[in-house]
Structures are given as structure tokens and as C-alpha cells.
Amino acid sequence: MSHSYKIAVLNGDGIGPEVVGSARSVLENAASKNNLNLEFFELPIGMEAYRKWGRTFPPETMQSMRESDGWILGPLQSGSYPRDDKDYPMASGKIRKAFDLYANIRPVKSLVQGSDSRFPSNIDLVIVRENTEDFYPDRNLFKGYGEFWPNQDTVVSLRVVTRNACRRISETAFNLARARKKTRLVTAIHKANVLIEGDGLFLGEVRKVKESFPDVRLEEKLVDSTALDLILSPENFDVILAMNMFGDILSDEAAGLVGGLGLAPSLNAGDKYAMAQSVHGSAPDIAGKGIANPVAEILSTAMLLDWLYSSEKGRNNESFFKTARAIENAIKMQLTSSDPRDRTRDIGGQASTTEFTSRLISRL
Ligand code: ATP
């Protein structure tokens, strides 16, 4: 019997159970066809956990995550969590901080090629977003929350930029540009003309890391002109390196260029742990209707397999690689079909989440 790997499944809120359920069954089917032995177990998080234990990220969930090989997380509707939640304000920030998931990798690729003229067919870029600091007050301090009211009419928000975080996220971006072999270009996003100190420190570290990558080019670009160029000439980007806030905003913009959030996967990764989680939120407007697009969560799961393949946990087990390719190929095939049953409504089709999923499974 081959080694079995533990995959934790955390459904999350809103459309979470629908898209995570779909990703899990696609993964189960693809793995069994490629000799990959996976053991799934569900862990409570978000409102499901709050209803049972009065907190959205129970310590038992955290402990079980520590003991598993990889995690699939659905969206968390943190903005509407009750104020008496012991994990207030944000479980996802806590996870990223507790497990040091410092890199958020967000590929943006044309998948609905040719069949929908609204979307360019030649986009293939990846946003590498720093995940632990910057303007995010739920994770940028050792203790406490990085926003406060010195008086009743004033709010102060702290931004944190550290040399270490800038260095390691730059290394991730340069390594990725090298591995992708596209144009070997890293575009570092900043606003150093205004955020002189913080973005200055960031750019300084980016330039230092670049010295170890003579085969990769570096371009430094203001965030505002990047927002424009993403619309005008998205095909020119390869790897976009950004700190937390700019990376977050640009990834929603970029997702819009290829069909929307239903197609935007992401991986939260550190040196020891990784978590599949789509870019989108809990989409309360369509939750429970059975129409959510599961592609983002499914592709995030394929990214987790690739991470496991090259990590110590995956021990170069080829089955991870093969399973990830099988999932990606099935998605590619399904999204280039002109049959409306092969797409969910957000990208012009008629399929429900479950119909889309079973058609995809039959293609594996
Ligand atoms: P949250 O408060 O959790 O961030 P939100 O609605 O503000 O939720 P998103 O969940 O990211 O933000 O959704 C933005 C829009 O994109 C919504 O109209 C939503 O329905 C749509 N959307 C997001 N994800 C999907 C998906 N997987 N399939 C179809 N539509 C989606």
C-alpha cells in the first residue's frame, strides 16, 4: 500500500461548502486514477465552528491542520462575524500568521479562450503577493490589532514592512519567474514616490535578491500605472511581485480580465505548510443557490498538489504531479467546449455547480 497523505477540508462560509465540495470530489477522483493515496477529513471553521463553539477558528482545528499534509479552505465571510467571536476579527489572517504562509501565489490565465470575445486569450501571469504584513492590521503585529482610535474622530492604521518578509517574497517571485520559463520577468509593484520608506525598503530587498538571478529581468512599476497596463497590455506581464494590499487589489483586477473570480485560483504557501484557497470571497449573493463556479477552488487544489510534489512532505511522488495535470487538462478541455452545460452562469454557461463537477469528473 502506498503512503497515504492527509488532506484537511475546511468548507468556510457562503459558497464555501459548494465549491470546496466540488474541489474535493474532483481531487478524490483524479487521485484515485493516478495512484495517489489521499485521506480527507473535515475541520470546522468560520460560522459553522462559531455556531458549535463560539469561535470561528477553534484550537482543535488549528492542531489538526498542523498534523495534516495540506489544506483546502473555502472563503471566510470574516467581515460579518459576530463581535463576540473569540477569534475576531479574522480567521484567515490568523491561519496565515500561525503557519507563516508568507506567499500568496495567484495565477491569472486565459482559460475561456476563443469562445468569449470579451476576454483576451493570451493572458498568462502570476501575482506573487506578500501575505503576512503591510496594511493588514489582523496579521501585521505580534500582539494586538494594527488599527486604533486615539480619539473619537481619528483612526490610525499601522503599516508594517520588514526586510525579512520583503526578501523571502522576492525570492519566491524570482524562483517562480525562472521556473515558468516564460519571459523571465519580475515586475515589482510599488508606490515608492509616496510610501518612500516602506516601499523603499521593499525595492531595496528586491534589487538585492535580483543579484542572485542574473537570468531573470527586473522591472519596477508604480501600482497605478500597473493597474492601467493590466487593462491595456496584460499579455506583457509574467510574474508580478507585490506587497499584501497592492497584490490583493491587482489580483481581483487581473481575474476580471480572464472571466472573473470564479476562475481565479490561489495558493497560500510557507516553507512547511500550504493551503489551497481561491481568490474570491464567500459570495453571499449566490450562496446556497448551487450556481457558484468551482473552477477557482479546483485549480487551487491542483496548485496544492504541485506544492506537495516539490515539498518534503510529497517526497517527489510523481502521482502529485500527474494528478495536478489531469485536473488542469480536464478543466482546459471543459472550458474550451462550446456546450453551455460545460460552464457555470458567471461565464455564460448554464451548468449548476454539481452538473459542472460531474461533467468534469467524467473528463479526468
Ligand atoms: P466577501 O464579503 O466574502 O468578500 P463579496 O461578495 O464581497 O464576499 P466575493 O465573494 O469575492 O466578494 O464576490 C464578488 C462577486 O463575484 C459577487 O458578485 C460574487 O457572486 C461573484 N463571485 C465570487 N466568486 C464566485 C464564484 N466562485 N462563482 C461565481 N461568482 C462568484
Residues of the chain with pLDDT under 70: 1, 113-117
Instruction: Say which residues have a Cβ less than 8 Å from residue 1's Cβ, sequence separation at least 6.
Output: 37
Give 3-state DSSP helix, strand, coil % of the chain, rounded to 5: 45, 20, 40
Query: Cα dist. 140→22, 28, 59, 118 in Å?
Result: 33, 36, 21, 38
Atom of ligand 1 nearest to the CA of 293: 28
Enzyme catalytic residues: 136, 191, 224, 248, 252
- What Å distances lie between residue 165 and 11, 203, 209, 221, 306, CA to CA? 29, 12, 12, 19, 23
Q: Whose CA is nearest to atom 14 of ligand 1?
A: 283
Please list every protein residue whose CB sits less than 6 Å from any atom of ligand 1.
14-15, 19, 75, 77, 79, 261-262, 280-286, 292-293, 296, 346
- Alpha helices of the chain — where are they, by DSSP H? 16-33, 47-53, 59-66, 91-98, 163-180, 196-210, 223-232, 244-257, 295-310, 318-336, 353-363
Contact present, 40 and 9 (Cβ < 8 Å) = yes
Query: What is the pLDDT at residue 313?
Result: 85
pLDDT of residue 1: 54
pLDDT at 94: 81
Atom of ligand 1 nearest to the CA of 281: 10
Spatial distance between the Cα atoms of 351 and 243, rounded to a whole number of angstroms: 37
Which ligand 1 atom sits nearest the alpha carbon of residue 285? 20
Name the residue among 180, 169, 232 with its Cα closest to residue 203: 169
Cβ neighbours around 166 below 10 Å, total: 25
